[in-house]
Structure formats: structure tokens, C-alpha cells
């Protein structure tokens, strides 16, 4: 079976919120880019990521036990260090050099454990698209256990969704949008290419506060028309970072961002589990009412409601696409951002495939004649 490379591997993927490893075993099984991984926290609070498959007989290491900085397979007791090397085989003194599994670079930032799926020598934690509000407790407040959703859809369909906020008018009319007018009246996108993705600004001028916002502002402000700005960055492979501000509507011209009334910060990380399923991580932070837990909870609930509205559409879209291999999408004006993002991602993938080919790293492998089953 030959396999074509479908994912960009030389990049940092959001793998797990740190709190997901706070369980009795301090470990987590998670597949990323079709690769089953085990993440674990060592006794000194460091993280490690290994192939979740013992090199001996393919038992899952995620059924194992953390011992100091090592992980023991609990089938026949083989012990691995953080580098994936076997350091003990019960009842046996010699350990051959091929007794090992692959280890993956990991780095924790902003509560998220990031994993590098490609060439370890190229892994530089400075290239992680960190999101400062997540750790800036002075100015921002989000919910403490950052959230996770599992999608039955290719991650790029979620990226598409986020690249055109027209959908806010129709999918989220009664939650995040407020009215269908958002689709007709909001100021057209400014789309700027970035090295690793793009930036989008979208104004919706002189409009009523949308439902999720209205729920957390004083009654007196409910009738005040607002200028709403969504200021977005989107990075390869699937990192979405957004600043949102609501300010009283400016009487003429474009409202400026110098004195926003209320602001939000939102991160959404889309990480492919397989080609057709996605890990989705998110938090939503506010810069007002910092010590009012009801505000934080209300926003979490509203956003969750909105994300579930997306999820049902996108998962149906996925089903239809799986059944329609010949479907050719028709473009509309709103596709500008997603077209740019997909083009940049495709270029990165092509570069990587070309590099691997020239360096002799074959992506197709011979059939294994020694398979267990």
C-alpha cells in the first residue's frame, strides 16, 4: 500500500490542553494527522509524545503507566524513556538498538501542548502561534478548562467556515449574528496575506448588539447601536485568532478602534485527527467584568451554542462531499479569504513533499511481510 502525504508535517499542531492530562494516569491517547500518539506528563511536569504503539507487539502505550520520566507498556512490561528508547525488558538483560518508538517534539504554551509531526531538527517552539490573552490574567478572562470538540469533518471545512463570516448571518442569526443583515450590509473584507496565512478585518456598522453580547451587557446598553469589528488572523495548519470589539456606532465614516467599548479575544485551533475528523480547541475571553463568573459562563455557553450550529452544518457538508467525489465547488465573492488560505497551505504541502522526495524520504512503503495479522 502506498500512501500519499496529505498533511503538512513540518508544523506545530495544537495537540491537547494541559488540563486534559490531569488525570490519574497523567496521559492521553490522541491521533494526529492519522498517527496514533500518546502524550504523557513526567514526574517533573514535563511533557512527552510517543507513537502510541509498543514496538514489540503493537499494544497501546496509552494503556501504560508513567514511571518518573518514562512510560511502561503494561502488556509485557517494556519501559520507554522520553526519547522513545526501550530502557527495560522484564526478564531480559540485552536490549537491541531497534527497540524504540518515535518520539515527537512537544512544547507547552498558553495552556496548550503543541506537537511537531515532521522532521524533529526543524522544530522551533518560537514558531508556535501563541495567543497571549490565554495567560494574561490581568486584562483578560476566559474559562479555566479550555474547551474541546470532536468534529466528523476535514479540518479545512472548519477553516473555510471561519474564513467567511457571511455564514454568521444565516447559521448564527439568533446566537452570534443577530440578524441576516450582517450578510448584506457588513463592510467587505480586507484580506491581507501573511507569511503563514492571512489577516481579515470585517466591520458591521450601526447594528443592534447580537444576542451573545447582549446577554452580558447592562440593560441600559441594549438599545445602543454598535459598530462591530472582527479582526482575524489565520495561520497554517489551522490556527484562528480573533479580536472582536464593540463600540458605540460612529455617526459618520468608519469608526476607529482607539476607544472600543468592550472587547473579546477568541482562539480556535483545528487539528486533523484523520483526513475526515478534527480536534477542535477553543477559548473565548472578555476584557470587562473580569471577576464576574456569570459573564464568563454566559459567553462560554453562547459560543458553544454557536459552534454547535456550525458543527451540524459542516458535518453534513462532509457527509455530502464523501458521497460526491466529483463535486466541483462554484466560487462566490465571499470565498476570497479561504481561497488564499488554501492556496498557501497547498504550496506549503507541495514544498514539503518535494523536499522529502529529493532527500529520499519515500512516502510510499513496501508491504510488510512480517505483520502480526
Q: Strand, coil or helix: what is 125?
A: helix
Do 212 and 306 meet the contact criterion of CB atoms below 8 Å apart?
yes
Supply the minimum distance, in Å, between the C-beta of residue 110 and its own copies. 29
Site for its own copies contains 96 (CB under 8 A): yes
The span from the CA of 80 to the CA of 100, in Å, is: 8
Q: Which cell is 72 given?
A: 511502561
All residues at 6 or more sequence positions from 88 whose CB lies less than 8 Å from its CB, including other chains = 72, 77, 78, 79, 95
* C-alpha cell recorded at residue 260: 472600543
Nearer to its own copies, 293 or 312 (CB): 312
DSSP, res 2: B
Instruction: Measure the N-to-C terminal CA separation of the chain; round to a whole number of Å.
Output: 15
50 lies in the site for its own copies, by CB under 8 A = no
Residue 130 or 273 with smaller CB distance to its own copies = 273
Q: Of residues 8, 156, 216, 241, which one binds its own copies by CB under 8 A?
A: 156
Neighbours of 313 (CB within 10 A): 15
In the complex with its own copies, the residue whose CB is nearer, 99 or 147, is 99
Our finding on whether 74 is near its own copies (CB under 8 A) is: yes
Asked whether position 224 contacts its own copies by CB under 8 A, the answer is no
Judged by CB under 8 A, the stretch of 143-151, 247-255, 281-289, 315-323 that binds its own copies is: 315-323
Q: Distance between CA 350 and CA 344 in Å, rounded?
A: 10
Selected binder of its own copies within 44, 330, 358, 359 (CB under 8 A) = 330
Stretch that binds its own copies, among 129-137, 166-174, 217-225, 293-301 (CB under 8 A): 166-174
60 part of the interface to its own copies, by CB under 8 A:
yes
For 297, the enclosing helix (H) or strand (E) is helix 293-323
Instruction: Determine the interface stretch with its own copies among 122-130, 152-160, 230-238, 296-304 (rule: CB under 8 A).
Output: 152-160
Grouping H, G, I as helix, E, B as strand and the rest as coil, residue 12 is strand
Interface pick for its own copies out of 19, 25, 67, 170 (rule CB under 8 A): 170
Q: What is the rounded (10 degree) CA torsion for 251, 254, 257, 263? A: 70
Options 251, 328, 359, 362; binder of its own copies; rule CB under 8 A: 328
Does residue 76 bind its own copies (CB under 8 A)? yes
Task: For residue 254, give the DSSP letter.
Answer: P
How near is the Cβ of 57 to its own copies at its closest, in Å?
6
Give me Rg for the CA atoms of the chain: 23
Q: Are strands 65-67 and 47-51 parallel, antiparallel or unpaired?
A: unpaired
Residue placing its CB nearer to its own copies in the complex, 4 or 219? 4
Considering the complex, what minimum distance in angstroms separates the CB of residue 185 from its own copies? 8
State the Cα–Cα distance between residues 71 and 50, nearest whole angstrom: 9
Q: Which residues bind its own copies (CB under 8 A)?
A: 1, 34, 36, 52-53, 55-60, 63, 72-78, 89-92, 96, 98-99, 154, 156-157, 160, 164, 166-167, 169-171, 180, 183-184, 186, 188, 275-276, 312-313, 316-318, 320-334, 365, 367-368, 370-373
Amino acid at each position: 500500500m502506498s500512501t500519499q502525504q496529505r498533511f503538512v508535517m513540518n508544523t506545530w499542531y495544537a495537540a491537547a490542553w494541559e488540563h486534559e492530562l490531569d488525570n490519574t494516569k497523567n496521559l492521553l491517547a490522541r491521533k494526529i494527522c492519522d498517527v496514533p500518539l500518546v502524550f504523557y506528563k513526567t514526574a517533573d511536569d514535563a511533557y512527552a509524545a510517543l507513537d502510541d504503539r509498543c514496538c514489540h507487539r503493537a499494544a497501546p502505550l496509552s494503556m501504560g503507566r508513567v514511571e518518573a520520566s518514562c512510560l511502561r507498556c503494561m502488556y509485557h512490561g517494556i519501559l520507554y524513556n522520553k526519547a522513545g528508547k526501550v530502557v527495560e525488558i522484564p526478564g531480559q538483560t540485552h536490549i537491541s538498538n531497534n527497540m524504540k518508538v518515535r518520539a515527537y517534539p512537544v512544547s507547552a504554551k498558553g495552556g496548550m501542548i503543541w506537537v511537531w509531526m515532521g522532521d524533529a531538527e526543524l522544530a522551533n517552539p518560537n514558531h508556535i502561534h501563541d495567543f497571549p490573552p490565554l495567560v494574561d490574567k490581568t486584562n483578560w478572562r476566559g474559562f479555566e478548562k479550555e474547551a474541546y470538540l470532536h468534529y466528523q469533518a476535514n479540518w479545512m471545512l472548519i477553516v473555510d467556515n471561519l474564513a467567511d463570516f457571511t455564514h454568521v448571518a444565516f447559521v448564527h442569526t439568533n446566537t452570534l449574528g443577530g440578524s441576516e443583515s450582517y450578510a448584506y450590509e457588513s463592510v467587505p473584507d480586507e484580506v491581507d496575506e501573511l507569511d503563514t496565512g492571512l489577516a481579515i478585518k470585517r466591520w458591521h456598522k450601526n447594528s443592534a448588539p447580537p444576542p451573545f453580547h447582549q446577554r452580558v451587557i447592562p440593560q441600559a446598553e441594549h438599545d445602543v447601536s454598535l459598530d462591530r469589528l472582527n479582526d482575524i488572523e489565520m495561520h497554517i495548519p489551522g490556527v484562528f485568532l480573533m479580536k472582536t470589539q464593540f463600540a458605540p456606532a460612529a455617526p459618520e465614516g468608519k469608526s476607529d478602534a482607539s476607544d472600543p467599548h468592550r472587547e473579546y479575544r477568541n482562539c480556535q485551533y483545528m487539528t486533523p485527527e484523520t483526513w475526515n475528523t478534527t480536534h477542535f480547541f477553543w477559548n473565548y475571553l472578555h476584557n470587562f467584568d473580569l471577576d464576574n463568573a456569570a459573564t464568563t459562563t454566559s459567553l462560554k455557553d453562547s459560543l458553544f451554542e454557536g459552534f454547535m450550529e456550525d458543527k451540524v452544518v459542516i458535518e453534513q457538508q462532509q457527509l455530502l462531499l464523501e458521497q460526491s467525489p466529483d463535486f466541483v465547488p462554484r466560487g462566490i465573492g465571499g470565498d476570497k479569504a479561504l481561497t488564499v488560505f488554501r492556496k498557501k497551505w497547498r504550496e506549503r504541502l507541495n514544498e514539503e513533499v518535494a523536499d522529502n522526495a529529493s532527500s529520499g524520504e519515500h512516502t510510499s512503503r513496501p508491504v510488510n511481510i512480517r505483520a502480526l495479522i
